[in-house]
Every structure is written in C-alpha cells, then in structure tokens.
Amino acid sequence: MKLVRGRRILETLSHTLPLTFTFTTLPAGYTCFQETGTALPPKTVQTLRAECSAALFGAVSSPTNKVPGYSSPIVALRKQLDLYANVRPVKTVATAPKQIDLVIVRENTEDLYVKEEKTYDAPNGTGKIAEAIKRISEKASLRIAAQAGEIALSRHKIRGQKDQGALAPPLHSSPKVTITHKSNVLSQTDGLFRESARAALSAAKYSGIEIEEQIVDSMVYKLFRNPEQYDVIVAPNLYGDILSDGAAALVGSLGLVPSANVGDDFVIGEPCHGSAPDIEGKGIANPIATIRSVAVMLGFLGEETAAAKVEAAVEACLVEGRVLSPDLGGKSTTEEVVEDVLKRL
C-alpha cells in the first residue's frame, strides 16, 4: 500500500485541526535490499531517531526462501527502536450482526523472533535437524503486560464517555485482559511470561481490570467461537502474530486491520496485511488498514481527536457500503475508497 495515502489523511487533518506535519520518505524492504544490499539502511534508522516523532511503515515483500544477507526490516526496526508492543485493534462496524471490539497486544522484541537458528546433520545419519531459540524475558513480559493494562483502562474510559446516554449497554462493561500462553507444555518460557504478566497486572492501578488466562490453542477456538467476549488479549510474539492475523477474518478482511509498533518514545503505524503481489498494480487493494494505522499512530501520539475523526470517517464509509474494495464484496478501486474517506474528513 503506497504510504502517500496515509500522508494524504494526515494532510487533510491538518486543514481542519491545529496539527502540522512534515514528512520524509525513507527506504526499507526487499527492493531496497536488491538495490543496496541491505533491507534497512543505517541512514533510515538514524533519521527516524534524530528527526521523526513517528512513522508509517508500508507493506513490503519478503522472500519466502532463505536469501543470504536479507532479514526483515520491520523486525529490525522493532528491535533497534525498542518498539516492544505491537498493538492490533480488531473491530466490527456498528451495524454488524455480531459485535467485536478487541485489541491484541503482542510482545514485539523476542520469542522465536530473535531469529537464532541453526541447522546441522543428525548424529545418527538420519538427515538434518533445525533448531530455533525461543527467548522470553521477565523484563519484556512485565512491560508488555503493563501496556495491555494501560490499553484496557484507556478503552474502558473511552467507552464510558461514548456510552453516556446510550440505549444499548456497552459490549464490555468492565476492562478485561486475557493472558495467552502455553505454559502447560513450555513451563519455563511461557511459564515466565505467564508469571510476569500476572505480576505486572497485580499492581494497584490495575485492580479494576478482570484478569484471565487462556492456553493458546483453546484461545484460537474460543476467539473464533465467541470473539465478543474478549477485550484486550496479551501474548508472546509468535502467538500474538498468529492470533491477530486470524482475528482479521472475524471482521471480513486483513485489509481492514491496523496496527502500531509502540515503544516509550516512538510509534510506527503499520497495516497488518502483506504486500499482496498477486494484485500489485491493479488498483484494487484495500486502503482501510493503512488509513486506520494512521489513526492508531495518532492515538499513541496523544492526538485522540484526530484519531477519532479518522475512525469515524472510515466507519461511515464501511457502514454506508457504497464505496468498498473487492475484498469486501465491492467494486471500488483503492483510490475511490481513499477519496471517499477524505471527503468524510
């Protein structure tokens, strides 16, 4: 998805709100690797640190086979900028027959994504063996659970403001965090995640939050059977990745689902979908995930009013249903969807 569309959302907001943006375009991704030998040039990271307060990351392709010297630029950015939380809201529109409003908070810096792997010959001559390190730390687990707690409290506060005078009861009457793990099998790694998450959420400030646990395999089942019962789900890196992509199916398309990579001092908005090379150049990709990622990024920058305006414009577009991309059953082009949202802003 060309990020110029995200930029146009921000520029339109600056015409109606007291916001000012300046932009810089920085290279990253597989095309950059093919041209320069690196998927994430040092200059890109240096510029982000020195000159930017936030960023939007485009949908970049990665090879499915091993390419010597290549590694994922977004994984590297998460580590180098210490963007330890990947926050993925999953929400249906107001007119949907089944209401879903949840957020998956995924630890972003460790687990199997430390990418420490090795392959060697089995000693008995039966073929090759591949091994990967799964790393879970107390520090990372504590802070991702605390982030989940903060998001749960913030969502509850916003719901209270919206529901004043509403005829229907809110979907979630109290904040809830579901800790997802597999400690019944991985007693040390997932066991540490579980214990640390519980410790973080036992702080007095989170006393009003309902805390529950769910083993990851049954979590998948229950998430698809009863998604409306979940509020905030916190999980280690791999489980969070799988759950959030799967949850996108509950609302109709990966093309609808945004995310943000969040640290203490920086945020990167990132649509959850991939680069979809099969439809490249056809002008039919769904831009909503990119547009919503702008809103999530703005929210973490403290610009709640701007974020709410973007979400309201997207909601109105989807509810009306006149201008929809093909993945949602419509016939509109990417540009037509963007223009519809811009007009509503």
| Max Cα distance, the chain (Å) | 72
Residue-wise pLDDT tens digits, 153-186: 999 988 776 654 444 455 677 899 999 999 999 9
185 part of a folded domain: yes
Residue-wise pLDDT tens digits, 71-126: 889 889 999 999 999 999 999 988 888 889 999 999 999 999 988 999 999 998 89
110 part of a folded domain: yes
Same domain for 233 and 102, yes or no, is yes
Same domain for 199 and 97, yes or no, is yes
**CA-closest candidate to residue 85, choices 71, 99, 104, 62:** 104
236 part of a folded domain: yes
170 part of a folded domain: yes
51 part of a folded domain: yes
Same domain for 78 and 95, yes or no, is no
122 part of a folded domain: yes
Same domain for 146 and 79, yes or no, is no
Same domain for 66 and 170, yes or no, is no
Tokens of 18: 């007291």
Instruction: Indicate which CATH number applies to the domain containing 136.
Output: 3.40.718.10
Q: What is the mean pLDDT of residues 232-251?
A: 93
Same domain for 54 and 117, yes or no, is no
Chosen domain end from 207, 225, 252: 252
**pLDDT at residue 275 in the model:** 66
Same domain for 294 and 344, yes or no, is yes
Same domain for 139 and 177, yes or no, is yes
257 part of a folded domain: no
pLDDT at 43 over 50: yes
Residue 134: is it exposed, middle or buried by C-beta count within 10 angstroms (0-12/13-18/19+)?
Answer: middle
Distance separating alpha carbons of residues 80 and 73, to the nearest angstrom? 10
Residues near 328 by beta carbon (within 8 Å), at least 6 away in sequence: 252, 253, 255, 256, 286, 318
Same domain for 148 and 245, yes or no, is yes
Distance separating alpha carbons of residues 259 and 58, to the nearest angstrom? 12
Q: Which domain holds residue 182?
A: 90-252
Residue-wise pLDDT tens digits, 200-220: 999 999 999 999 999 999 999
Distance separating alpha carbons of residues 19 and 306, to the nearest angstrom? 9
Distance separating alpha carbons of residues 314 and 59, to the nearest angstrom? 20
Same domain for 200 and 277, yes or no, is no
**pLDDT at residue 1 in the model:** 42
Tell me the H-state helices in the chain. 4-16, 30-36, 42-51, 73-80, 138-162, 189-201, 216-225, 237-248, 288-300, 304-320, 334-344
258 part of a folded domain: no
Amino acid at 69: G
Chosen domain end from 252, 275, 293: 252
Answer yes or no: pTM beyond 0.85. yes
Average pLDDT, the chain: 90
Same domain for 172 and 187, yes or no, is yes
Virtual torsion, Cα 32, 33, 37, 42, nearest 10 deg: 60
Give how many domains the chain has, as a whole number: 2
**pLDDT at residue 280 in the model:** 72
Same domain for 126 and 209, yes or no, is yes
Estimate the crossing angle of helix 73-80 against helix 42-51, to 10 degrees: 40
Chosen domain end from 252, 286, 313: 252
Query: Sheet of 260-262: strands edge to edge?
Result: 55-56, 267-269, 260-262, 85-91, 101-107, 232-235, 176-181, 210-215
